[in-house]
Structure 1
Amino acid sequence: MGELLNSGLLNVASLAISLIVMIIGLALWFFVNRASSRTDEQIELLEALLDQQKRQNALLRRLCEANEPEEKEAPKAAAEVVNEDEDDFIRLVAER
């Protein structure tokens, strides 16, 4: 009679462990699935943002090209003065 009782308890214990493992597995699946769907939504939003930024950059480039003045001699002279100032700054930096 003891053998029948022990085998019945082992079956119940085995069934209980299986149910616990299944519940833990389902909980893990739920959280992983939820995180995955949120990540997918974030990726879609980031791709939409990137598309909008590309459009804005293209519009800004067109505006800059449309408003760009014709090159004259004066801006080149200003650029040379800036380069001379940069050389002076480099001379001020102590060498190691």
Structure 2
Amino acid sequence: MVDLMNSGMLNLASLAVSLLVLVIGLVLWFFVNRASSRANEQIELLEALLDQQKRQNALLRRLCEANEPEKQEPVKSAELPQTQEGDDDFIRLVAER
């Protein structure tokens, strides 16, 4: 009779431990799953923000190009005075500080 009681109690304790581990596992799974879905939402929001910033940069670039004053034609090297070339040579000899 004592053997039946001991084996019954052992089975009951084993069942209780199994249920406790199952409940703890489910709680952990819930929090991990919740954190994962929040991270996915944040990634989606960051990607949307990045897309909007790219569109804003493109728009700003177009606005800057439209408001830019017309560029003057650069002076050709043949039209430069000869004295400027001599000055460039002298500047090259001076050490920069």
TM-score range, shorter chain: 0.7 to 0.9
Deviation of 1:71 (Å)? 2.3
Q: Who wins on radius of gyration, i.e. which is larger?
A: 2
Identity of aligned residues (%): 79
1:67 aligns with 67
Structure 2, gaps ≥5 residues long = 75-95
Secondary structure of 1:23 counterpart:
helix
- Give structure 1 regions of 4+ aligned residues with deviation exceeding 3 angstroms: none
Q: Per-residue displacement from partner, 1:6-43 (whole Å, max 9, x unpaired)?
A: 10011001000001100000000000010011111101
Deviation of 1:70 (Å)? 2.1
Letter of the 1:68 counterpart: E
Deviation of 1:67 (Å)? 1.0
- How many residue pairs match? The answer is 77
Whole-angstrom distance in 2 between the partners of 1:70 and 1:59: 20
Structure 1, gaps ≥5 residues long = 74-89, 92-96
Whole-angstrom distance in 1 between the partners of 2:6 and 2:19: 20
Give TM-score, length-normalised by structure 1.
0.73
